[in-house]
Amino acid sequence: MNVSESASDSPVVRYGYAYDTIDLVLNKTQRLYQYWLSKCSAGELPTKESIDLMEVYDVAPYVVVRDIIGDPQNFRVRFWGSGMTSQLGYDPTGKIVSELYSEEGVKELHQIYAAIIAIRNPVQIVGCLEFLADKAPRKYEAIHTPLAAKDGEIVQILSCFDFDGTEKLQPIEPPSRNEGWKLFLNLELP
């Protein structure tokens, strides 16, 4: 599957839950979250300059970094780990969210990222990706963390996905096939 097919044909069904209370279960997401916390200083968000993926080389293949661009906000994939490409079958580095997903998928991702920006804290996702054509459903846990510029403005979202050990995660009921993307946001916004 190539990136352009994903937006036009919508072969991916996504569903799951988003939380602003972090209770990570899987190793990769815990590792990135602990790293992110270690870069927080005096109650301030980590800056994008403080992040060095070589410091978390063990999970870097499952890391995604998205730049926040434009007005209204959009998100460009700056870094897409090789493990993500192996799991999902494509590499969208350099693409913006609206080039990658269906209109509904873009709306859901924008909601998640807008929540992260509004609350200035990480968001945890427990979800499932279904590749209708060629791969079995992939349950996952993800952590999405905000990174700031030196002036404190959030300029990037640093994420990590874990597809291993997902039997430890809560059960997730899929929507019916014709519903497409579903993400149940359990976020408390200010």
Residue given tokens 């993800």 in the structure block: 142
Mean pLDDT, rounded, for 140-153: 93
Boundaries of every domain in the chain: 3-186
* Residue 173 pLDDT > 70: no
pTM of the entire predicted model: 0.81
Residue 162 neighbours by CB under 8 Å, 6+ apart: 26, 27, 28, 29, 62, 140, 141, 142
pLDDT digit string, tens, across residues 64-103: 999 999 866 889 999 999 999 988 888 999 999 888 877 7
* 5-43: pLDDT as tens digits: 333 333 344 456 666 668 888 899 999 999 999 999 888
Is the CB of residue 125 less than 8 Å from the CB of residue 141? yes
Average pLDDT, the chain: 78
**Domain 3-186 architecture:** 2-Layer Sandwich (3.30)
pLDDT for the residue 130: 63
CA distances for 138 relative to 17, 46, 49, 50, angstroms: 14, 30, 32, 32
Residue 183 pLDDT > 60, yes or no? no
Question: How many residues would you count in the chain?
Answer: 190
Q: Decide: 141 and 26 in contact? Cβ < 8 Å.
A: yes
